[in-house]
Amino acid sequence: MDLGRLLRQQGGVVRVDQAVACGVSTRTLRRRVAEEGWQRLHPGVLLASGHRLTGEARVRAAWLWAGDRALVSGPAAAYWHGMLERAPDVVEVTVPRHHNPRPQPGIRVRRRGVAATDHVGLRDIWLTDRALTLLETATVLPDGSAFLDRGLQRFTSFDAVRRAYSRMIGSAASREAGRLLVAAADRADSAAERLLVRLLREAGIAGWVLGHPFGRFRIDLAFPAAQVAVEVDGWAWHVDAERFTTDRRKGNALVRAGWDLLRFTWHDLANDPARVVAEIRQTLAQAA
């Protein structure tokens, strides 16, 4: 392959052996580093002049340095899959257990075995598949549960993530991954409603009714005297198209009848309970 074409394909990043295979000598490469503005990113990995060191370039450079048997993993893999908007400052690569490369700035090396089922090739590099990437990244992000929820809506299924978890049991991240997965499986609407009830009781807010009838619908939690309705949206995989449509029709009917409608997600209840309680208090006060 022509070196110029390879550089365009790889965002300006090239491994020395790739350049040599394109007919460029190591002597020429050393001269380009010394005189023409090429950068040495990692041992054996260069960035050609005229190319920016983007997030994509950093991830590709880390993988090229780690070798063809390596996998980009964790948040860096999530970025490559399109699950995160920005590449992390430190790129994680997974290498076989017997491989022990020297640490490099900006790269975290994990030595472990990853089942072949969890390998995927994407845009000329190898990385962990979507399900494993989603689960492992969720274990290290501050908003891991919300990240997992978004990923299950857009990128993979709950069953695929569960199977990926079964293959990673025993790894360093498996305990936290298991906790997230168990919690996710239990976060049906009933669990969210129980959490809302606990928050209201702890806040001393009374006058509510669960499953309040409203025409052909039932309101998740209602304050009938104030005509305030609270609807709780469960996690993505608990909501099918029919349920979504019914919930929206119910909401429209409530608004037409003069009710104040509040909608909260599991993440609102679990991660920002003070805001939920404050918004309910304010709405009740305004209704009074």
Q: Are strands 107-111 and 71-73 parallel, antiparallel or unpaired?
A: unpaired
pLDDT at 128: 98
Burial degree of 69 (CB within 10 A; 0-12, 13-18, 19+): exposed
13-27, 78-92, 184-198, 199-213: least confidently modelled range: 184-198
Burial degree of 67 (CB within 10 A; 0-12, 13-18, 19+): middle
For 254, other C-beta atoms within 10 Å of its C-beta total 21
Are 193 and 259 in the same domain?
yes
Q: Where are the alpha helices (DSSP H) in the chain?
A: 3-9, 16-21, 26-35, 55-66, 74-81, 130-138, 144-154, 158-168, 174-186, 189-202, 241-256, 266-271, 273-287
In 3-state terms, the chain is what percent helix, strand and coil (to 5)?
A: 50, 20, 30
The answer to whether the pTM exceeds 0.85 is no
pLDDT at 237: 47
Are 181 and 229 in the same domain?
no
Are 65 and 136 in the same domain?
yes
What is the average pLDDT value for the chain, to the nearest integer?
90
| Domain total in the chain | 3
State the average pLDDT over residues 58-87: 97
Are 117 and 15 in the same domain?
no
Distance CA 275, CA 273 (A): 5
Three-state DSSP class for residue 46: strand
Are 122 and 67 in the same domain?
yes
Residue predicted with more confidence, 51 or 176: 51
Please identify, among 185, 211, 244, the residue that sits at the C-terminal boundary of a domain.
185
Are 112 and 84 in the same domain?
yes
pLDDT at 246: 78
pLDDT at 25: 94
Are 98 and 80 in the same domain?
yes
Q: How confident is the model at residue 186 (pLDDT cuts 50, 70, 90)?
A: low
Residues of the domain holding 26: 1-53
pLDDT tens, position by position, 118-158 = 999 999 999 999 999 999 999 999 888 778 878 887 898 88
Please identify, among 125, 158, 185, the residue that sits at the C-terminal boundary of a domain.
185
Distance CA 117, CA 182 (A): 22
Are 13 and 122 in the same domain?
no
- Token pair in block for residue 46: 């260069």
Q: How confident is the model at residue 184 (pLDDT cuts 50, 70, 90)?
A: low
pLDDT tens, position by position, 187-234 = 545 667 888 999 999 999 999 999 999 999 999 999 999 999 999 876
Please identify, among 135, 153, 185, the residue that sits at the C-terminal boundary of a domain.
185
Three-state DSSP class for residue 271: helix
Are 10 and 63 in the same domain?
no
Are 219 and 129 in the same domain?
no
State the average pLDDT over residues 10-18: 96
